[in-house]
Structure 1
Amino acid sequence: MGLWSLLEVSSMPILQLLIISLLGAAMATQYLNLLPPHACKSLNRIVFVVFTPALIFASLAKTVHFQDIISWWFMAANIGITFLVGGILGWIAVKILKPQPYLQDLIIAMCATGNFANILLVIIPAICSEDGSPFGDKTVCRQLGLSYVSFSMAIGSFYTWTYTYHLIQSAKAKYCAMLGNADESSKEANNGTEANETASLLLNLDERVVIPSNVAGDDKIILDKKNLEHSATLWTYTSTIFHRLAKELKAPPVLAAILGFLVGAISFLRNLIIGDTAPLRALNESITLLGDGTIPCITLILGGNLTQGISKAQVGPMVVMTVIGIRYLILPVTGIFVVKVASYLGFLPSDPLYHFILMIQFALPPGINIGTMTQLFDVAQEECSMLYLWTYLVAAFALTGWSIFLMWILS
């Protein structure tokens, strides 16, 4: 496979995203006014509740069998390592760069979350179809590659809609706290120290907590905050964690991933909706049709946010370069080391295409579902779009370089 062909293959999905983003940016301008902010929010909710779950369910139910889930177990661990290493590197980066508190979680999410959806769906079949591909017969490579990619997309979506979703939710909480702090500071200037004390209590900045006393009537007991924390029971702490996890697992994309795994793994359910003779095949075809609208809609929203907030984004060149360095330099090197060690320990099958996909998962640009989450929580949409713009411009060349190198070491 020639350098030019590989450049064309790896850059094609990036160019598609950039073209659709430009269309979304044009639609959001005052001249066309087809995608104003309220329309972006409404479209984003549809993507979150309908399109994204449909895409995840359709890809899982159709391509992933129970045997695949067992034999490809390391892919789930591999994607988890991409999130872990990227998250740690992003955390180190924000400690050094010290951006606004609500932007810290966005930067960590950008470093940790890769695009496991449309990028690989385009790259892998294209590489398999090229003459001179190191992955064997074109037909077998394409079918097996799509199965790998679908499983990767499903696992990636599960991590994204739990871990990354929590990060953006935390960013929203910090943003609200920042706005509350600004409001209370303004009240302090106008109303004096009383407003300042109220603000301190609301923002949990006071080291003391006042609670009503059941013993002395209307009297109040002042407890040291540290003592109150130590008095919390283990059961309360554990139940809080499980409650938060259960809430995040109720997100429509996560529920769709769970249902997709069940349908793909259980033959009876699979035969009901998958296949030309399945009695409920119309249901699966409808879900697939809905899923096809996910990527275009998300990309249009990203372009719209870029136009609406290009002058408001608070991300400097150092933040952009840091995210690019983590995603396209440090993570890919880490991925090669992880896959080589796993292969040496006998955790992986001998298929070079499987090894290639595991390695390329570390070199992907940031996942576009982050944009859906920022729109959903109404926080850092402009900064998210700016980071997407630069990381996806660089991705065309970074993916090409890493694809060439990975195929060389695997051939």
Structure 2
Amino acid sequence: MGFWDLLAVASPPILQVLIISALGAFMATEYFNNLLSADTRKSLNKIVFIVFTPSLVFSSFAETVTLDDMISWWFMPVNVGFTFLFGGILGWIIVKLLKPNLKVEGLIIGACSSGNLGNLPIVIIPAICDEKGGPFGEHDACRKTALSYASFSMSLGGIFIWTYTYQLIHSRSMKFKALEAAEILKVPNKDLGADAETHLLEEKRRESTAIEVRAANVEDTENQVMVEQGSSNVLKENFWGRMISISRQLLEELMAPPTIATFMGFIFGGIAWLKNLIVGQNAPLRVIQDCIKLLGEGTIPCITLLLGGNLTQGLRSSSVKKSEIVSTIVARFIVLPFIGLLVVKAAKELGFLPVDPLFQYVLVMQYAMPPAMNISTMAQLFDVGQEECSVILLWTYAAAVIALTGWSTFLMWLLS
């Protein structure tokens, strides 16, 4: 297929996301009576998270995944880890070069490292199979396999986001709040009626206080050693406290409905007699699989509408510097996908990947996805940088329209 033919195949899925997201954004405004208000989005997001997404994940996994597939997909968790590792390094470099506000640091590193590995792949990747003349085989088989890849990507991305990214944004938020509290406690001497004698008395008082402090420091050397030992014990307790918090968060993510649906889908797909119970024309419990598939069909439109609604807040703020936004876009959509392409080509040469070109397409596209929407949820959770987060997400998702189309077209040309 020629370049323009591939572009014609790659662009409709991205345009679908753009159009439906625009509808969601319009529904979140007063012109549509705030149909997708903040409270409505929260409620709908819970329904998608608890009901629709697990249904889509389970139905696609149980129907298409086999035990051999599970073994052959072992590189995908490694690849997702690489997206977070290399993206985090790029974000750290941007922070060191531009030195942004502390409450923006975590958002920039998080936006560079944490891609949207769930919502968008589930929408875009199966839609590639719907276009005529696609390079990934017959429509039905391609779509089922694409849903399985995207579902697995979503479960893996959720685990990394709610461990690595969560701790990253949490630590930066706590530091910002601590510094903010310290600045509030600083009360400079702005007495307009103070004369030279008053300032001289203040200086003498500071000098006498400093002498007393030095004397106290000499006398309390032994107490200082005890305090240092106590502080080291506190650091150890803080370390173990963080480890327990991370473990608890990981366990909560493993118990999340989409993750449980992934595991159950693997079990039903990998064990033949369980699969025969619900999948197939003669399956005795086929009605259960049909009901689950029906619920799963509501996932993609709801997710896309929510995406547009959540981005509207970014239109109301402009406090993030242009250089920070541009650097994040370049890192997220140019540098990181290029690194991912090199990683996947190396893995292919070493024989780590299955023959399926769609699998390789998914692996590279994982590097090219815009930032995860969960970053916005974390900013709201810690009450730090919510407007800045909305600005970053708004402009990165606007750039994603061009970037995803370009990378998708290039990859289909490369793999066809």
Match of 1:160 among 143, 147, 157: 157
User: Partner letter of residue 28 of structure 2?
Assistant: A
Shift in Å at residue 66 of structure 1?
0.9
Residue matched to 2:328:
323
Question: Which deviates more from structure 2 when the two are superposed, residues 306-315 or residues 317-326?
Answer: 306-315
Residue matched to 2:40:
39
Structure 2 SS opposite 1:150: helix
Q: Within 2, Cα distance between the matches of 1:263 and 1:60? A: 8
Structure 2 SS opposite 1:46: helix
Larger Cα-atom Rg = 2
Shift in Å at residue 408 of structure 1?
4.2
Question: Which deviates more from structure 2 when the two are superposed, residues 270-279 or residues 353-362?
Answer: 353-362
Deviations 1:77-125, CA, capped at 9 Å, x for gaps: 2233223222332233334334444544443333232443211111244
Shift in Å at residue 331 of structure 1?
2.0
Residue matched to 2:53:
52
Shift in Å at residue 384 of structure 1?
4.6
Residue matched to 1:307:
312
The normalised TM-score by structure 2 is 0.75
Residue matched to 2:289:
284
Q: Within 2, Cα distance between the matches of 1:283 and 1:102? A: 47
Question: Which deviates more from structure 2 when the two are superposed, residues 347-356 or residues 49-58?
Answer: 347-356
Is contact 1:79–1:361 with CA below 8 Å preserved after alignment? yes
Deviations 1:329-373, CA, capped at 9 Å, x for gaps: 112221222122222222234444443443333333344565666
Question: Which deviates more from structure 2 when the two are superposed, residues 328-337 or residues 358-367?
Answer: 358-367
Is contact 1:171–1:379 with CA below 8 Å preserved after alignment? no
Q: Within 2, Cα distance between the matches of 1:44 and 1:366? A: 18
Q: Within 1, Cα distance between the matches of 2:285 and 2:376? A: 34
Is contact 1:114–1:367 with CA below 8 Å preserved after alignment? yes
Question: Which deviates more from structure 2 when the two are superposed, residues 113-122 or residues 63-72?
Answer: 113-122
Across the aligned residues of Structure 1 and Structure 2, the Cα RMSD in angstroms comes to 3.4
Gaps of at least 5 residues in structure 1 are: 190-220
Deviations 1:298-317, CA, capped at 9 Å, x for gaps: 33233223334521364332
Shift in Å at residue 42 of structure 1?
1.8
User: Partner letter of residue 90 of structure 1?
Assistant: G
Is contact 2:80–2:157 with CA below 8 Å preserved after alignment? no
User: Partner letter of residue 246 of structure 1?
Assistant: L
Q: Within 2, Cα distance between the matches of 1:40 and 1:410? A: 38
User: Partner letter of residue 338 of structure 2?
Assistant: V
Match of 1:390 among 388, 395, 398: 395
Is contact 1:168–1:374 with CA below 8 Å preserved after alignment? no
Is contact 2:58–2:261 with CA below 8 Å preserved after alignment? yes
Is contact 2:254–2:260 with CA below 8 Å preserved after alignment? yes
From the superposition, tell whether residues 346 and 275 of structure 1 become closer, same or farther in structure 2 (CA, over 3 Å): same
Is contact 2:106–2:172 with CA below 8 Å preserved after alignment? no
Is contact 2:76–2:153 with CA below 8 Å preserved after alignment? no
- Match runs of 1:347-362 below 5 Å: 347-362=352-367
Q: Within 2, Cα distance between the matches of 1:359 and 1:304? A: 28
Is contact 2:24–2:309 with CA below 8 Å preserved after alignment? yes
Identity %: 46
Q: Within 1, Cα distance between the matches of 2:238 and 2:365? A: 44
Shift in Å at residue 385 of structure 1?
4.6
The normalised TM-score by structure 1 is 0.76
Question: Which deviates more from structure 2 when the two are superposed, residues 273-282 or residues 352-361?
Answer: 352-361
User: Partner letter of residue 77 of structure 1?
Assistant: V
Structure 1 SS opposite 2:316: coil
Residue matched to 2:199:
none
Match of 1:258 among 260, 263, 284: 263
Q: Within 2, Cα distance between the matches of 1:65 and 1:374? A: 39
Deviations 1:263-305, CA, capped at 9 Å, x for gaps: 2212222222222222222222222222222232233233223
Shift in Å at residue 8 of structure 1?
2.9
Is contact 2:162–2:250 with CA below 8 Å preserved after alignment? no
From the superposition, tell whether residues 257 and 349 of structure 1 become closer, same or farther in structure 2 (CA, over 3 Å): closer
Deviations 1:50-97, CA, capped at 9 Å, x for gaps: 222222222222221111111232233223322322233223333433
Match of 2:346 among 323, 341, 356: 341
Q: Within 2, Cα distance between the matches of 1:378 and 1:266? A: 45
Q: Does 1:273 align with 2:273?
A: no
Which has a greater percent of helix? 2
Residue matched to 2:211:
none
